[in-house]
Amino acid sequence: AGPAAPLKDLVPAPFGATAMTGQLDDPAWREAVLRHCSQLTPEWEQKMERTLGPGFAHDFSASDRVVAFARDHGLRVHGHTVIWYSQGSEVFTDDLPRDRFAAEYDRYIHALVGRYRGRMAGWDVVNEPVTEDGNGLRDCHWSRALGPEGYMVRAFQQAKAADPDAVLFLNEYNLENIPAKGATFLRLVERLLTLGAPIDGIGTQSHLNIEIPAGRVRDFFRDSASLGLPIHVSELDFPMQRDGGHLPDLRSTAERRAQQVARVGELAEAFAALPERQRYAFTTWGLRDPDSWLVRAEGRNRTDESALLLDAEARPNPAYQALVDAFTGR
């Protein structure tokens, strides 16, 4: 098969992928990203693991490089992520006096979000606030210091003050895979809005579990669309192995492939069915198979798993055709 037709022309919204500073000078990566993408999400350069040092020191130099690359090539940038339960606790410690904690919280948000004021399409202001099983809110250093809902309301209010133009998202995973988590998340969005959080959009990461029955993806998009907010498919990938491949996989590859393609098609159809003003962007977490975090984090996606739309040579993977069929209405 020849090179894939540009995804940014196929998808009825800005099409995004992740970018890392280590990829910016790779000719093959640049060629594929500039052919297919109209938006980029820094994969880790805007997270506290990279931006926040001891004594509340800020270092946005890696983030600046990704943002500059996007600007130089006319690509939108989606910021990811300001406040996340899994980062920052080495500096934002539980023993800090509350007023110092709160002052540094606000200062960090203004330093990061304010730095790119007017230049970001949007931000994942809070990432993954709901518990793994979907039955509540995560307990973390943010919630202990500022309240389980308070830290989120505050983060959105500070981010809005820092950049009034950016679309501000609450971002979460397994919303399609686990209906209870999807329902809790949507109720949380509504609750935070009543508490005065200026949430502008819903980010569904869509790291799809291809084992889920048909209909769950469609149902979540139907339910989330009813809030009337822009929706970002923010981190799409679709690994074929179950649970990191630790379970004996009893189905044939052909059967798993059929499940994978069906789920991706269902998601694309659900996204395309949204009103245009609710289609913020459609982002995959990596553009080509080798770009996937699954390769680095779990040594996966090296086989014919094809957890992304393009293979190592940027040719269409099986799921690519499901997008074509869904977005062209075949």
Closest CA to 177 of 136, 201, 206, 203: 206
> And the tokens for 116?
């790119």
**By CB under 6 A, residue 101 contacts ligand G3I:** no
Per-residue x/- track, 231-270, ligand G3I (CB under 6 A): ----x-----------------------------------
CB-based contact 233:283 (threshold 8 Å): yes
**By CB under 6 A, residue 20 contacts ligand G3I:** yes
Per-residue x/- track, 154-193, ligand G3I (CB under 6 A): -------------------x--------------------
Alpha helices in 195-272 (DSSP H): 216-225, 253-272
Near ligand G3I by CB under 6 A: residue from 100, 222, 251, 296: 296
As a whole number of angstroms, the distance between CA 158 and CA 153 comes to 9
**By CB under 6 A, residue 293 contacts ligand G3I:** yes
Closest CA to 237 of 32, 16, 21: 16
The nearer residue to ligand G3I, 102 or 295, going by C-beta atoms, is 295
- How are the residues of the chain apportioned to helix, strand and coil, as percentages rounded to the nearest 5? 45, 15, 40
The nearer residue to ligand G3I, 26 or 49, going by C-beta atoms, is 49
Give the 3-state secondary structure of residue 168.
strand
Kindly give, in sequence order, each residue whose CB lies less than 8 Å from that of residue 227, ignoring residues fewer than 6 positions away. Answer: 186, 189, 190, 202
As a whole number of angstroms, the distance between CA 225 and CA 132 comes to 23
Task: For the segment 188-207, give every residue that binds ligand G3I (CB under 6 A).
Answer: 205
Near ligand G3I by CB under 6 A: residue from 26, 49, 243, 255: 49
Region of 42-50, 62-70, 97-105, 321-329 interacting with ligand G3I (CB under 6 A):
42-50
Near ligand G3I by CB under 6 A: residue from 4, 37, 43, 63: 43
Per-residue x/- track, 218-237, ligand G3I (CB under 6 A): -----------------x--
**By CB under 6 A, residue 151 contacts ligand G3I:** no
Near ligand G3I by CB under 6 A: residue from 47, 78, 257, 288: 47
CB-based contact 145:97 (threshold 8 Å): no
By DSSP bridging, strand 279-284 and strand 15-19 are parallel
CB-based contact 37:61 (threshold 8 Å): no
For residue 113, the minimal CB distance to ligand G3I (Å) is 17
Task: For the segment 76-95, give every residue that binds ligand G3I (CB under 6 A).
Answer: none
> And the tokens for 177?
């895979």
Q: Which residue has the tokens 């594929």?
A: 32
Query: In the complex, which residues of this chain contact ligand G3I (CB under 6 A)?
Result: 20, 22, 43-44, 47, 49, 127, 173, 205, 235, 293, 296
